[in-house]
Chains A and B, each alone.
Chain A
Amino acid sequence: MKKNKVVKLALVGNPNTGKTSLFNQLTGLNQKVGNYPGITVDKKQGKCKISEELTAEVTDLPGTYSINPSTLDETIVLETLLNEKNSSFPDLVIVVAEVENLKRNLLLFSQIKDLQIPTLLVINMKDQMERKGITIDVLALKKELKSEVILVSARKKIGIEDLKQEILNYKKWDTNPIANISDKIDADFFKEVKKTFTDFSLYKSWLLITQQEYCDFLSNEEQNKLRIFTERKEQIKKYQHKETIYRYQKINEILKKTYLVDKSKATDLRSKLDRILTHKIFGYVIFALVLFLIFQSIFEWATVPMDLIDGFFANLRVLAKNNLPTGMLTNLIAEGIIPGIGGVLIFIPQITILFIFISILEETGYMSRVVFLMDKIMRRFGMGGKSIIPLISGTACAIPAIMASRNISSWRERLITILVVPFTTCSARLPVYAILISIIIPQKKILGIFNLQGLTLMGLYLLGFGAAILSAVLLNYILKVKHKSLFAIEMPNYKLPSIKNIFYTVVEKVKAFITGAGSIILAISVVLWFLASNGGSNFKNADEIISKQTQNQTISKEEIHKKIASYKLENSYIGIMGKTIEPVIKPMGYDWKIGIALISSFAAREVFVGALATIYNVESDNDNTSTIKQRMSSEINPATGEKRFNFATGMSLLLFYAFAMQCMGTLAIVKRETKSWKWPILQLTGMGLLAYIVSVITFTFLN
């Protein structure tokens, strides 16, 4: 009777690759299988009869993306593969990869292979290859990876016998490393590593150095050797980054020769959906419809809560004025602070709705398809594919969007992206657009379904995006970008959005709006109120001057009171400042009050509404419970007797905000990212000039 030999086999792989399914097929043990992370938290072991002579003791290790651990589960994998004294230290390793995400899976495989333990690659979900339009040149892949490669379908029991046959020959497997990290990173450094750790393979030594905190199993002598490298933390960190980059480069090269995805042949649901959503015509039509739905909803659903918030603050203002003791502080609270806070909180419903939609698009995986679609447009206009991420992120806020441009390798291309991102409509423009649209665009429906206000808002978003693309084309021509960076995006699977994730995203965005912009708006409201409530001698003697002027006229006390309030505001510090700049802004159709709000909103665009609310409140009657919107709608241009915010002025303002660089935070981040004042200044003047010219032309034509 032949003696049955037992070998230790470790199953390693990324989460959700079907590793546990393969474990079941090999061992026959009934294990729980799922496609959510964290199912395999402990080592699971079972026996597999490979042949009459060979039995494998199979250990199912926790799912991991690499052997650089970031979680407790991943440390188990590292320790098992490094510690030869570990009872589960394998004689051979099977790395389970998933056919659709081979690139990511091969990172782990290449690391384990370099440990020079006999390693085999199993590519699972073979049965889905045809449906997904995937073909693999297995022979070429074996050659490139210097390893045996077996295609299986663990769920359908395909390829299991082939795998067992291959395991029988594990002693003949090639154990040479595939990535020559020492030459690619720092040959001298690795020479020193090799000299220090003569008993280990080079890659194992390198892992011990990088993962020292998990190496309790080493002897004292080995620990002492490791300490030589402890002080070179920065250098080691840098080399780790280099290693990952090099491995991915190597994997890309290999897959280019061996792995092909032909989406046109794919027949699975995801591929079918992808074909429609990223179609060269339907893709854009669907995206336009999605945008249309979002902007319609912003106006349809936000109107009622916005009016409630606006009305609440108008009543609160009167309540404060009538019930608090008369004095300067009460005036500040009623005319400065309450309208200022109201000017922030009124926009919570719209921001909430916008971010609910954005989160749903991200959660479902649709946003990645939009990025892919937009990449095609970008290239036609001479921009690199990687620019699309900052441009799409810019719809939330230009600051993180500009920071997202860091992954663009070409400096000029990155610079162009940084310069054009502020054109995309950020959430700070939304409050300004919303209030102006609700004043100048009638709330009516076209063809019974299309809300005209929603359409206008969508038009402004598209205008911002169009301005960004056209500016990029222009800058591209001026700066002459020769090399476009390549763009690769891993499309996530479609999934139902998690309500919890959406809730957290929306809460975080609303909180950031209230605490970030809100604190600035509040502080500016206080300063504006002070400047509007104080002034020189004309301001102080306003009662006397108006009384003298009206002594021979027969006008009511109420009229006289209004005249005094107007005279005071015009002669307040802010009135004097506003009157000074009025000649410059008059061609745009603005009076000095709008001019002050415009200058104040240079800090942040959202300040515009709060600033106007403060200015109008200082001028108004104590018992006036008008909302911000009503106040703006009823403001009269004394020169024409018409409404101040008529269609011409409103459109001029909308276009000014669409093009102007009204954000100090963005300028600061551009300065930091470009390490020069030249670019933010160019951006400020260029966008400012464009906004001014467009506003003047708009007002002149529409008036």
Chain B
Amino acid sequence: MTEKRGHSSRSIVATSALALALAIKAHAGQTVDQYLSFSEFGTLGVVHSDYDRADFTGNVVQPTGAGFGGSWSFTPDSDLGVQANLTLTDRLTGVVQVLSRENASGNFSPSLEWGNLKYDFTTEFSVRIGRILLPTFQLADVQNVGYALPWVRIPLEFNYADSTEHSDGIELLYQMKTGPISQLLQAQVGYSDENSPGADFGTVRAGSELLSDTLQYGNVSGELVYQHYEHTGYLQIRQDLFGMGLTYDPGAYFVMTACNYADNSIFGGAVAGYIGAGVRFGNVTPYGFYAITHATSEGTSDLAHLGNEHTVAAGLRWDFVSNFDVKLQIERVTLDSVDDTAAFADIQAGARPGDKAHIVSLTMDFVF
């Protein structure tokens, strides 16, 4: 009950922020433009699943999707984000991003995804205070921006242990250059809303810390991350996560791979990873990926196979006009377990390990 109230008051704040942003935009003149600009992103998507014993979802928190509730669904990937960019001085900037996407409560109530002020002490060193999406995984901080992703969505198996919705706190950013290698170091301490894998107890507010290093050397980029969160209230839960990713993108094609290991005090340990690649033929990019998550230990929950699943996917991205793309993605998802698998919600009693779901997704992404 408390949680529901908390959620709806957040929604009201977010809706007000969205309304205010649109009102300011409508009245923005030349002088305002210097301090304020707007950016928008969105995805209009539809998913078909032939598997009627569970709902295929677009991320770990969504409670509904395609399959059991109906073979077609537009909820997994469809979203809309509006962002206000504030440039208060040369060094002080701010960002407010409001997102509407199917959330843990199963509705599209707008939520505040980003809201922070950033101060650049030097060209290399900045501090941010407020709300951010954590860069827990490769591309996790743009998980809602379909246009910035090479696939329809971040592979769900890989994303499974990333229960964090967003984090409120303080973050240090250090962008440095060592010879030909550029690095972005991020350290964040705050409170996050966590949705643990397999959790039916909803969202918990947990203290979290994150360290990440994004390295770039020519066309090669790499990510290293460590995240810890700990809830000490009625639910004693703690998770440590280590992740790494590698991308090679010379322009004509790209190869991406990443893996992570999460150790959760209740749900045990799990490894996850994926490898994917695409080739760019002008504005058409065929791609494919393989993703897997596998439980390595039980924790106190006694669920030995929590989340186990793997996916083979093939797709096509078409950048048909400036600012827009269309993606068609076909996937075969194998449930290696029926204990809250990564891609599915609402798993029915008839589901069996080894079941296969065939998923077809068609999305249109845009950014402005």
Partners in one complex: no
A residues in contact (CB < 8 Å) with B: none
